[in-house]
Structure 1
Amino acid sequence: MELNDAVAVVTGANRGLGRHLAAQLVARGAKVYAAARHPGTVDLPGVSPLRLDVTDEESVRAAARTASDATLLVNNAGISTSTPLLAGAPDAVRREMETNFYGPLTVTRAFAPVIEANGGGAVLNILSVLSWLHPAGLGSYAATKAAAWALTDAAREELAPRGISVSALHVGYMDTDMAAGVPADQKADPAEVAAQALDGVEAGLPEILADEITRQVRRNLATVPRAA
């Protein structure tokens, strides 16, 4: 997909990776709707702030009506509560699933007809190395990203006949607020990750693996898990 003159909707565009994606899309010549729950927090030049709460279906439908010229959807908004699946609070698990799985599902369902009506385009889902690696302490987040990986693969097959490609970005820790407690030498530069993601969308790649740990985990998917 050519990003010059594309019309992109980026969820969670007010900070972190989403902010970098929105800024780089503008630099590549795209029109950008920078979506956030509170659009007043969007301070990027050259974008159109857009109110969109991925957990609120009416908000999503209203955003799709406003961004009726969209040709690219970037499902970036997400949360992490560091909740284990068995010992953690059930409400936290549900909140992560509502945001990280049902959120992109709801937004994709709303925007797919828009993108199709505009001649086709692309969807980019921001996933994680934890789509495939499931540490107990982050069990809830990992479960949501594994589910979002399945969503991505199924949506790719479903949307292809409608002229919409679907790409997934998988990445480990990035230097953003979400990974504030992780040592700096273990974190990727979100600006570099955003550039890789957008290059992958332009190339039509189904999966974009943004760092070495992600590539290594992906190669080892066929390995039988060891007993605890």
Structure 2
Amino acid sequence: MKIENAVVLVTGANRGIGRTFVEELLKRGAAKIYVAARDTASLSDLLKAGDRRLVALPLDVTDPDQVAAAASVANDVTLLINNAGYAAFDGAISATSIDDARQEMEVNYFGPLAMTRAFAPVLAKTGGGVVNMLSMLSLISLPMAATYSASKAAGLSLTRSIRAELAGQGTQVVGVLAVQAETEMGAKMPEPRLSPLEIVTDTLDAVEAGSNDEVVAGAQTRGIHDKFTANPQQVQAMMSTKLPQKR
């Protein structure tokens, strides 16, 4: 599908990769972008230029009522970008409770599931697509972000199932595998880090090329992915040395 004249909804649009998606979509000529965030006040800097193509949308992807309301309001969407994410960066055992693990699953797994279920009828009518922001941690477990890794692995499996289920209605489904990016969330991960623009550019290029698969976004990600493909046990063993910090 083409980005030019597309109508797009971006969750977690207020910062990081989400904001970069919005900026690049504008450059590529999107007709309308629903910029979604839990607190629309956090979108003020993005909206201050007054671009009428941007429509603020209050949306917590873990709130069923807000998801339903978003699908009702944004009933012209041709591309849904499930970007909102949450990471506690803690161990599975060392964490003081499993509350963060539950939140990671709510945002990173149940959020995209709820959004895609809500928008599937819209996308069937508009002939659109879905982008799910995943992670290389969908494939590799990182003990210092153990439950985040688990939520992203669940997200990858979900993405593949959604792709199969929505194929009959012609909906394109792209999953994005990327390593740590230069964002507020990614700053908790070791350097070097990818620029959000590199991730976004590769993703939107894949969407426009008609990809219906996972895209390995960014040169650094492709290097890690190549090593993982060649020897997954070796890469996992390396990642398993990165343990959570003792409290």
TM-score by length of 1: 0.93
Other-structure match for 1:60 = 67
On the 8 A contact 1:132/1:218 being kept in 2, the answer is no
Other-structure match for 2:36 = 35
Other-structure match for 2:12 = 12
Q: 1:188 aligns to what SS in structure 2? A: coil
Task: For 1:188 and 1:213, locate their aligned partners in 2 and report how far apart those are by CA, in whole Å.
Answer: 7
Runs of at least 4 residues off by over 6 Å: none
Distance 1:39-1:64 versus aligned 2 partners, 3 A rule:
same
Other-structure match for 1:135 = 142
Aligned-pair CA distance for 1:148: 0.3
Other-structure match for 2:163 = 156
CA RMSD of aligned residues (A): 1.7
Distance 1:24-1:145 versus aligned 2 partners, 3 A rule:
same
On the 8 A contact 1:132/1:221 being kept in 2, the answer is no
Query: Aligned residues, how many?
Result: 226
TM-score by length of 2: 0.86
Which runs of 5 or more residues in structure 2 are unaligned? Answer: 241-247
Q: Which 10-residue stretch deviates more, 86-95 or 105-114?
A: 86-95
Q: 1:173 aligns to what SS in structure 2? A: coil
1:98 equivalent to 2:99? Answer no
Aligned-pair CA distance for 1:86: 2.5
On the 8 A contact 1:167/1:204 being kept in 2, the answer is no
Task: For 2:184 and 2:17, locate their aligned partners in 1 and report how far apart those are by CA, in whole Å.
Answer: 10
Q: Which 10-residue stretch deviates more, 154-163 or 204-213?
A: 204-213
Aligned-pair CA distance for 1:27: 1.5
On the 8 A contact 2:89/2:148 being kept in 1, the answer is yes
Q: 1:186 aligns to what SS in structure 2? A: coil
Task: For 1:179 and 1:4, locate their aligned partners in 2 and report how far apart those are by CA, in whole Å.
Answer: 30
Other-structure match for 2:244 = none
Task: For 1:163 and 1:135, locate their aligned partners in 2 and report how far apart those are by CA, in whole Å.
Answer: 35
Which amino acid is 1:107 matched to?
Answer: M
Task: For 1:125 and 1:62, locate their aligned partners in 2 and report how far apart those are by CA, in whole Å.
Answer: 20
Which amino acid is 1:130 matched to?
Answer: L
Q: 2:233 aligns to what SS in structure 1? A: coil
Which amino acid is 1:35 matched to?
Answer: A
Task: For 1:159 and 1:21, locate their aligned partners in 2 and report how far apart those are by CA, in whole Å.
Answer: 24
Q: 2:86 aligns to what SS in structure 1? A: coil
Which residue of 152, 163, 168 corresponds with 2:175? 168
Aligned-pair CA distance for 1:216: 4.0
On the 8 A contact 1:127/1:169 being kept in 2, the answer is yes
Task: For 2:220 and 2:148, locate their aligned partners in 1 and report how far apart those are by CA, in whole Å.
Answer: 18
Other-structure match for 2:24 = 24
1:201 equivalent to 2:201? Answer no
Distance 1:221-1:113 versus aligned 2 partners, 3 A rule:
same
Which runs of 5 or more residues in structure 1 are unaligned? Answer: none
Give CA-to-partner distance per residue, 1:116-157, whole Å, 9 cap, x none: 122x11100001010111021111010000000001111111
Which runs of structure 2 are paired with 1:77-88 in the superposition (5 Å)?
77-88=84-95
